[in-house]
């Protein structure tokens, strides 16, 4: 048996045997994602359908988990899964050098992002004003002195809290590689922050962050990563079913969180009136792993019949001549059009 297909079979068997709905969390799915990326990297086009459906199984687990978190109002966990990137870097700009050597005095973070975009070209993107760039591409700006340092953001908590005490009273200790002999002014250390190579009095930590740093998303949310992989390979109907369930999860979270303002254990407390249960049952997700089982059945058909074409995948998946590239958790093959299959609707309806 070919090594790649054997690895994919082992991966799915292990996934099936270790999935525990009661203990499922983001870390488990992320570990499986990393394993699958390792197997699929540079794989032959023959294995695209199996790889795509394997990723779809991870997406089904993510959808299920989102529903569980929303129904139980686990806001932080829900946010980590769908909204809060897993790794963000805070790029601290050398404000003094930029002002003195480049003559830039206003909107320095925007100016810096333009420099990165011009340098990296098509490898640059933004998400809500935050850069999305491979950190290795920023080494040029460190060598040029435009970046003083890159600090990993704590995933939970406010940036202002993380950076409030990160710069000591002695500027030599703040940025030893770039700071010369500078005599700091005497102010409240919370109000006085190292902006570039010198010391500048800022109104607060937040204003310093806004004027002297740029955020870079190194690793997005689990949902984003999986969507980037699946967007170009799964059928339109199946993608709609995924988006529909994610929307229901958001609606459920909002509904439960609003209810908790009046009843602490809403909707499970004894204070909940019986006449509210119809609305509760219609709003909450109550997701199951039935969709996961459906995708596994599609995998079984492909593995037993190499000529079988799954209605959950776009037809172009079976005609890709290129090597698979999962660098950055994306398939980079470009498609000229989207194809649909009339037989998809009744199969996808099982997931709605």
70 band by pLDDT with thresholds 50, 70 and 90: very high
Instruction: Assess whether pLDDT exceeds 80 at residue 24.
Output: yes
Percent above pLDDT 70 for the chain: 79
Phi and psi at residue 178, in whole multiples of 5°? -120, -20
pLDDT in tens, 295-352: 999 999 999 998 899 999 998 888 765 444 444 344 433 322 222 233 333 344 445 5
Instruction: Assess whether pLDDT exceeds 80 at residue 61.
Output: yes
Largest CA-CA distance found in the chain, in angstroms, rounded: 75
pLDDT for the residue numbered 312:
97
Rounded Cα distance, 251 and 233, in Å: 27
pLDDT in tens, 144-156: 999 999 999 999 9
pLDDT for the residue numbered 191:
35
pLDDT for the residue numbered 164:
81
pLDDT for the residue numbered 318:
84
Nearest alpha-carbon partner for 339 in 320, 324, 325: 320
Nearest alpha-carbon partner for 71 in 291, 280, 351: 280
Instruction: Assess whether pLDDT exceeds 60 at residue 159.
Output: yes
Nearest alpha-carbon partner for 54 in 298, 289, 231, 221: 298
If phi > 0 it is left, if psi is from -120 to 50 it is alpha, else beta; for residue 41 that is beta
Contact criterion met (CB below 8 Å) for 5 and 47: yes
Rounded Cα distance, 313 and 53, in Å: 8
pLDDT for the residue numbered 265:
84
Contact criterion met (CB below 8 Å) for 115 and 141: yes
Count other C-beta atoms under 10 Å from residue 161's C-beta: 10
């Amino acid at each position: 048996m070919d090594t790649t297909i054997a690895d994919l079979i082992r991966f799915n068997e292990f996934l099936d045997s270790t999935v525990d709905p009661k203990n499922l969390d983001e870390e488990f799915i992320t570990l499986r994602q990393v394993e699958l990326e390792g197997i699929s990297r540079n794989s032959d086009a023959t294995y695209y359908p199996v790889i795509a459906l394997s990723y779809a199984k991870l997406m089904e687990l993510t959808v299920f988990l989102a529903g569980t978190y929303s129904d139980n109002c686990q806001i932080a966990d829900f946010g980590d899964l769908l909204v809060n990137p897993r790794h963000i870097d805070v790029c601290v700009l050398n404000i003094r050098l930029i002002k003195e050597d480049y003559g830039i005095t206003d909107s320095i973070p925007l100016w810096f992002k333009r420099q990165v975009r011009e340098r990296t070209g098509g490898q640059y993107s933004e998400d809500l004003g935050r850069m999305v760039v491979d950190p290795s591409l920023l080494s040029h700006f460190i060598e040029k002195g435009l970046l003083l340092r890159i600090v990993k953001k704590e995933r939970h908590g406010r940036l202002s809290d993380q950076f409030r005490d990160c710069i000591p009273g002695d500027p030599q200790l703040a940025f030893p590689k770039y700071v010369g002999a500078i005599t700091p002014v005497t102010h409240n250390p919370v109000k006085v922050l190292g902006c570039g190579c010198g010391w500048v009095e800022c109104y607060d930590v937040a204003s310093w962050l806004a004027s002297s740093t740029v955020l870079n998303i190194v690793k997005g949310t689990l949902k984003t990563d999986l969507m980037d992989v699946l967007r170009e390979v799964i059928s339109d109907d199946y993608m709609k079913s995924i988006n529909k369930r994610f929307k229901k999860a958001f609606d459920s979270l909002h509904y439960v969180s609003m209810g908790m303002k009046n009843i602490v254990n809403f909707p499970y407390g004894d204070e909940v009136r019986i006449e509210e249960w119809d609305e509760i049952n219609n709003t909450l997700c109550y997701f199951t792993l039935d969709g996961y089982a459906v995708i596994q059945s599609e995998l079984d058909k492909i593995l037993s019949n190499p000529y079988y074409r799954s209605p959950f995948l776009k037809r172009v998946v079976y005609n890709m001549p290129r090597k698979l590239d999962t660098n950055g958790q994306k398939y980079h093959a470009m498609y000229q059009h989207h194809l649909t299959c009339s037989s998809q609707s009744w199969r996808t309806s099982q997931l709605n």
